[in-house]
Amino acid sequence: MADDPEAERPEEDQEGGPVKTFLEHLEDLRWVFIKTVVALGVAMLVCLIAGNYVVGVIKWPLDQAKVRYPGTNQVVTVRFGTNWSKVFQLTPEQQRSFDLGTNRFTVVSVEPVLLGTNRVLGWRAEYDPVAAEQAQRLHIDLINLSPAGGFFVAFQVAFYGGMVMAAPLIFYWVASFVFPALKMRERKYVYRGLGFGAGLFFTGVIFCYFVLMPVALAASQMYSQWLGLGASQWKAEDYISFVCKFMLGMGLGFELPVVLLTLVKIGVLSYATLRKMWRYMIVINLFLGAVLTTPEVITQVLMAAPLYILYEISVWIAWYWDQPDRAKARRRLAVIIGAVVLLGLLVWLGGKYGGPWLRQLWQ
């Protein structure tokens, strides 16, 4: 019996699966395609049935967005019964004329008043602790402007939600098709890269959903109002498309360390090259922030800042790989990380406790 040449190879150089003919690979690929289409169809059907819940998840950043009122002028919220109506920021002349008290956020309740035998509408100014919260909410209605608009929105919701639900199964089937062609050593690197890449992708999506998206939506409305345009109603399909693409772009942007460190591993880049690229990376990150976010400075910087931090982390990892004495390099990294954490803590404490004191001093 002849010796098996595959068994004589080192374990890391052995193939990951059995050898198959070209037609057998095509048959496997066909089944991967069929299972992917079926899984995506079932997931889209589930999201279509539960469309109102999916839309509620997508609308959450809009509900969390806050409106900023510069200056110290009084902000009045009009309430009719139990319904909150319009929010106005008074001019100094209006503030002196109405004399609604000293609270910056005030509620004016419109209610029926009996005047003799006639019932008329009157208004009454009062303080309500909920007034500030209501005034700072981003009051935007998502609307459909065509009879078929609801169906397009439902399809969008089903498509994006179905992709999210079916993604783990699709990835598993594609990996089961590709991985047998890799050597054991190659599979180890792929597993590590995919693990870190998935973690960074979901970190980017979560950061965009909870932090960046409410700021971007509020900035978008403020920019429209600055241009003199109304911004109280948005098309539902445009909003859903913007939110989903924004989160997808942010997740892909967080894949930057995986790309850079992979290029370092295969020898295309080095620590010295990465260190020299910092000026270009600032421009690239700002460009990505301009392309993937709303076209104003705040959200661009909020996206570019974490991307540049990820770049610096990649540079330090490449530096660590380049060091012959790893123990000494780890101690140095620990000192640097401790200094950065301490600096970040001081900045956070200064912003939380020093900011209000400075504003009071300035006023």
Min mean pLDDT across 32-46, 226-240, 291-305, 330-344 is at 291-305
Count how many domains the chain has: 1
CA distance linking residue 299 with residue 289, whole number of Å: 7
Q: What percent of the chain has pLDDT over 90?
A: 6
Within-domain flag for 106: yes
Within-domain flag for 92: yes
Within-domain flag for 89: yes
**pLDDT tens digits along 222-267:** 777 777 776 778 888 888 888 888 888 888 888 888 888 888 887 7
Within-domain flag for 189: no
The answer to whether 178 and 23 are in contact (CB under 8 A) is no
Within-domain flag for 125: yes
Per the document, the length of the chain is 363
Q: Is the pLDDT of residue 10 over 60?
A: no
Using CA atoms, how far residue 54 sits from 151, 209, 245, 258, in Å, is 15, 14, 16, 31
Residue for token pair 């996206």: 303
**pLDDT tens digits along 17-67:** 567 777 887 888 899 999 999 999 999 999 999 888 989 999 999 888 887
- Residue 123 half-sphere exposure toward CB, CA atoms < 13 A: 12
Q: Is the pLDDT of residue 1 over 50?
A: no
Within-domain flag for 354: no
Confidence of residue 295 (pLDDT cuts 50, 70, 90): low
Helix (H, G, I), strand (E, B) or coil at 81: coil
CA distance linking residue 240 with residue 236, whole number of Å: 6
**313 vs 15 pLDDT, higher one:** 313
Confidence of residue 353 (pLDDT cuts 50, 70, 90): low
**pLDDT tens digits along 82-134:** 676 677 777 778 777 777 777 778 887 777 777 777 777 777 777 777 766 77
**pLDDT tens digits along 203-228:** 888 988 998 888 888 888 777 777 77
Confidence of residue 11 (pLDDT cuts 50, 70, 90): low
Q: What percent of the chain has pLDDT over 70?
A: 86
CA distance linking residue 12 with residue 185, whole number of Å: 5
Within-domain flag for 81: yes
**189 vs 259 pLDDT, higher one:** 259
Torsion of CA 330, 334, 336, 342, to 10 degrees: 170
The answer to whether 35 and 176 are in contact (CB under 8 A) is no
Q: Which domain holds residue 131?
A: 75-135
Within-domain flag for 115: yes
- All residues at 6 or more sequence positions from 16 whose CB lies less than 8 Å from its CB, including other chains: 179, 180, 181, 182, 183, 184, 187
HEC string of 272-337?
HHHHHCHHHHHHHHHHHHHHHCCCCHHHHHHHHHHHHHHHHHHHHHHHHHHCCCHHHHHHHHHHHH
Beta bridge partners of 142: 234
Confidence of residue 360 (pLDDT cuts 50, 70, 90): low
